[in-house]
């Protein structure tokens, strides 16, 4: 099947909302209370919040399609849109989500390549992301692609403080 990466537009906010909730729930529902998960999803992925993010000129969203099927998406941030200050030479991958039925098909690598290309376009030399310390599959995936741990920060799922590891990839070494 042909794989296509396509920039997401504000007109597609409901499609973005649906896949955001489905992928986040699939990945994290077993490790969090239903109440914390529900509250987070309502706050992070409501239509107003996602519309605001889509309209931010320093953020970009990309859908990945496997044939005609929406399979996942990527959200990247530059400059002030980054969730943490990591320097003017950095691009953040804030979200890289793939639906469970499409995992293991190389779509994550394609989305990472999209992020690398956008970083080069924006003349950034580093890409970074936060990964929950207990998400072993994601940690292994990113490390295989050349990311190294450079820090950590807190992430709150409701009142539950969790630790995200900060992983960075230097693009000048490629």
CA-CA-CA-CA torsion sign (79, 108, 9, 24): negative
Under 8 Å between Cβ of 19 and 53: no
Would you give the distance in Å from CA 39 to the centre of its chain? 19
List the catalytic residues.
Answer: 142
Alpha-helix runs per DSSP H in 11-158: 13-28, 34-44, 47-55, 107-121, 136-144
Whole-number Cα distances in Å, 62 to 8, 75, 111: 5, 7, 8
Provide the β-strand partners of residue 2: none
């Amino acid at each position: 099947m042909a794989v296509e990466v396509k920039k997401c537009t504000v007109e597609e906010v409901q499609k973005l909302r649906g896949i955001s909730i489905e992928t986040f729930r699939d990945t994290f529902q077993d490790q969090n209370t239903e109440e914390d998960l529900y509250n987070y999803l309502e706050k992070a992925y409501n239509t107003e919040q996602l519309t605001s993010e889509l309209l931010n000129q320093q953020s970009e969203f990309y859908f990945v399609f496997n044939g005609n099927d929406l399979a996942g998406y990527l959200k990247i941030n530059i400059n002030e849109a980054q969730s943490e200050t990591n320097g003017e030479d950095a691009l953040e991958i804030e979200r890289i989500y793939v639906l469970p039925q499409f995992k293991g098909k190389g779509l994550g690598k394609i989305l990472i390549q999209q992020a690398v290309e956008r970083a080069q376009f924006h003349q950034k030399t580093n890409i970074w992301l936060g990964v929950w310390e207990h998400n072993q599959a994601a940690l292994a995936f990113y490390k295989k692609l050349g990311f190294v741990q450079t820090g950590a920060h807190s992430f709150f799922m409701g009142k539950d403080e969790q630790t995200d590891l900060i992983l960075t990839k230097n693009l000048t070494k490629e």
